[in-house]
Amino acid sequence: MMKKYNFCAGPAPLSPEVYQKAAEALENFNDTGLSILEISHRSDAFLSILADCNKWVLELLSLENKGYQVLFLQGSASMEFARVPLNLLKTQAGYIDTGVWAQKAINEARKVGQVKIVASSEDKNYSYIPQGYHLPEQMDYLHCTSNNTIYGTQMNNFPDTNAPLVCDMSSDIFSRKLDFSQFGLIYAGAQKNISTSGLSVVIIHESLLSENVNIPNVLSYKQHFQHNGLYHTPPVFAVYLTWLNLQWLIQQGGVEAMEKINRQKATMLYQEIDNNYLFFGTAQKQDRSLMNVCFRLVDENLSTQFDRFIENKNITGIRGHRYVGGYRVSLYNAVTLSDVEYLITCLKEFENEVDRR
Ligand SMILES: *Cc1c(COP(=O)(O)O)cnc(C)c1O
């Protein structure tokens, strides 16, 4: 089979090594003669996987011994849009509106309490990250989205506030180094840089594990924590895939090494987009994402030709999000430098092809 170059925004590709080990475990997990799909989530084997995942997440984010707990929950980022306010919103929460995902989080929070939108980049179709805004005194938490997957913008600095900072890191967790201790709660749907869909990873400071008896147990972070993540059956396979992928990440040198490669990949590709006269980038330069590179054709009439060209090159997953159109190349951790080099060669070739006509 010809190699496919997959730049899909999510569910996103993981490393082939991870796939191979996962495939083995589907048939015979750890030489037990059982599939990973048929072992008990209370077995020693699974408990040890869960414990490793906990430990590795904290290590990779330099959050060991700082009072953080990691939860591997059935769900998705959208589930956390609801769970966060249900657990943390008592009076008023602040939200930074940087796009559709932030909007969805805002809509869920509004069902629970007061929401103050402290800043928005809607005026320019979310092509930038707002700066220099005023924060209200009273906030139960301030919610932000570190990487805006649809628009290709990324936050490089985070607001300085006394309120707990809550961050949707679905599309850039483990891709770069940050001071993660500035956040009270980090969450991510797993299908971009962690694992497969069906799992959300929540990293929460113990001080935020308060009890709200008015919400169903399955939505309560405290309940999940008190049951050691086994309040109900966790998504066992997705957790196992997380275990494999975190191991892979550590072998690559961790978040710092990953960031170095991610910067190289993004820099090369943005350079090509800026130099290739057929394309232009849609995000403001200073806020460009390392994970999702969004661009458009200068002449939209070339789109059929470009789509066909890309398909013939075995490149897939670069269609822009249906809300914004255009193109989007996602450069998550498992996308290699040589995958990006290949894509760039193809973009140049397309430029030449158009030139010749
Ligand atoms: C993909 C994505 C989501 C939605 O994730 P689900 O797991 O499908 O709910 C939310 N936020 C961000 C930043 C995303 O990239």
Stated as kind and residue range, the H or E segment containing 330 is strand 327-330
> In this predicted structure, what is the pLDDT of residue 320?
95
User: Which residue bears the tokens 């299908």?
Assistant: 191
What would the pLDDT profile of 274-297 be if each residue is shown by its tens digit? Answer: 999 999 999 999 999 999 999 999
Stated as kind and residue range, the H or E segment containing 82 is helix 77-88
What would the pLDDT profile of 33-54 be if each residue is shown by its tens digit? Answer: 999 999 999 999 999 999 999 9
Ligand 1 in reach of 103 Cβ (< 6 A):
no
What would the pLDDT profile of 186-229 be if each residue is shown by its tens digit? Answer: 999 999 999 999 999 999 999 999 887 789 999 999 999 999 99
Contact assessment for residue 279 and residue 143, using Cβ atoms and an 8 Å cutoff: no
User: Which residue bears the tokens 């989205």?
Assistant: 145
User: Does the annotation count 168 as an active-site position?
Assistant: yes
Ligand 1 in reach of 126 Cβ (< 6 A):
no
C-alpha distance from residue 30 to each of 21, 26, 234 (Å): 10, 10, 19
Is it the case that residue 357 has pLDDT exceeding 80?
no
Six-digit token string for 208: 């935020």
3-state helix, strand, coil in the chain (%, to 5): 40, 20, 40
User: One of 97, 140, 168, 172 is an active-site residue; which one?
Assistant: 168
What would the pLDDT profile of 149-175 be if each residue is shown by its tens digit? Answer: 999 999 999 999 999 999 999 999 999
Q: pLDDT tier at 134 (50, 70, 90 boundaries)?
A: very high
User: Does the annotation count 179 as an active-site position?
Assistant: no
- Backbone φ/ψ region at 334: left (φ over 0), alpha (ψ -120 to 50), beta: alpha
> In this predicted structure, what is the pLDDT of residue 252?
97
> In this predicted structure, what is the pLDDT of residue 211?
81
What would the pLDDT profile of 312-334 be if each residue is shown by its tens digit? Answer: 999 999 999 999 999 999 999 99
> In this predicted structure, what is the pLDDT of residue 355?
84
> In this predicted structure, what is the pLDDT of residue 314?
98
Q: Region 93-116: what's the mean pLDDT?
A: 98
What would the pLDDT profile of 222-261 be if each residue is shown by its tens digit? Answer: 999 999 999 999 999 999 999 999 999 999 999 999 999 9
> In this predicted structure, what is the pLDDT of residue 122?
98
Q: pLDDT tier at 61 (50, 70, 90 boundaries)?
A: very high
DSSP assignment letter at 265: H
State phi, psi for 25 to the nearest 5 degrees: -70, -20
Burial 245-268 (b: 16+ CB within 10 A, else e): bbbbbeeeebbeebbebbeebbeb
Q: Which class would CATH give 16-251?
A: alpha beta
User: Does the annotation count 299 as an active-site position?
Assistant: no
The domain locations on the chain are 16-251, 254-355
Domains 16-251 and 254-355 share a fold: no
Atom 5 of ligand 1, residue of closest alpha carbon: 77
Whole-prediction pTM value? 0.97
d(CA 228, CA 47): 10
Ligand 1: distance of its center to the CA of 84 in Å? 14
Six-digit token string for 40: 């008990």
Mean of the per-residue pLDDT values of the chain: 97
CATH architecture of 254-355: Alpha-Beta Complex (3.90)
Q: Region 68-77: what's the mean pLDDT?
A: 98
> In this predicted structure, what is the pLDDT of residue 193?
94
> In this predicted structure, what is the pLDDT of residue 76?
97
Q: pLDDT tier at 84 (50, 70, 90 boundaries)?
A: very high
